[in-house]
């Protein structure tokens, strides 16, 4: 672990400093309480540094996991968007009126794909950065939620459009039937009078 190397380096430095002081001006056989206090303070400082390193590593691992979770969520959303794009392509075959309505949705889907590309880039960068990992992961989660909401809206609009087309088809069929009935009555009435 990196913090162990740092700890060992700090301990070696402290020991070297203590030896240098002992070799220094006048050797003393007496135990100096001030020196004991200094060593104790340095040891406490080392312990504090070790604890801070452990906390930093735990936080970095948490941020890495958050970024990984956000990246997986983006992949699921991409698959969902691909499915919706296929549905849009099928809807275009239903006629020019539907094609115009779906064209707007396709443009919105392209905007969503651009947002997803931006999100993927943010997730990739977040794997190498400390605090930015957390911020970028939160941004990615928010964007993913927005995409899901927009996808639900697109799906609802497609369903509504299908309902309208079905209603229009039913109304057209009804009008044709009424027109055929009117024509047959008219024909019968003209032939009975004539």
pLDDT digits 0-9 by tens, 124-147? 665 666 677 677 668 888 988 888
Task: Tell me the C-alpha distance between 129 and 133, whole Å.
Answer: 6
**Domain boundaries defined on the chain:** 2-193
Instruction: Report whether 133 contacts 66 (CB < 8 A).
Output: yes
50: exposed, middle or buried (C-beta count within 10 Å: 0-12, 13-18, 19+)? middle
Mean of the per-residue pLDDT values of the chain: 78
pLDDT band at 1 (very low <50, low <70, confident <90, very high): very low
**Cβ atoms < 10 Å from Cβ of 179:** 10
Instruction: Report whether 105 contacts 157 (CB < 8 A).
Output: yes
Task: Tell me the C-alpha distance between 8 and 98, whole Å.
Answer: 71
Q: Does the pLDDT of residue 13 top 80, yes or no? A: no
- The alpha carbon of 132 is separated from its chain's Cα centroid by a whole number of angstroms, namely 14
Higher pLDDT, 75 or 132: 75
Q: Which of 38-42, 141-145, 186-190 has the highest mean pLDDT?
A: 141-145
């Amino acid at each position: 672990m990196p913090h162990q190397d740092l700890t060992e380096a700090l301990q070696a430095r402290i020991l070297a400093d203590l030896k240098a002081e002992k070799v220094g001006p006048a050797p003393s056989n007496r135990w100096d309480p001030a020196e004991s206090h200094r060593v104790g303070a340095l040891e406490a400082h080392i312990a504090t540094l070790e604890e801070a390193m452990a906390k930093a590593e735990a936080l970095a691992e948490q941020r890495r996991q958050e970024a990984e979770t956000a990246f997986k969520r983006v992949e699921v959303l991409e698959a969902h968007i691909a499915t919706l794009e296929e549905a849009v392509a099928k809807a275009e075959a239903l006629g020019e009126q539907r094609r115009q309505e779906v064209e707007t949705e396709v443009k919105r889907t392209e905007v969503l794909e651009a947002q997803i590309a931006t999100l993927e880039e943010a997730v990739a960068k977040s794997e190498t950065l400390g605090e930015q990992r957390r911020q970028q992961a939160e941004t990615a989660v928010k964007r993913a939620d927005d995409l899901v909401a927009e996808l639900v809206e697109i799906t609802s609009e497609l369903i509504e459009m299908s309902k309208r087309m079905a209603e229009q088809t039913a109304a057209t069929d009804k009008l044709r039937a009424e027109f055929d009935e009117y024509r047959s009555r008219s024909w019968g009435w003209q032939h009975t009078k004539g």
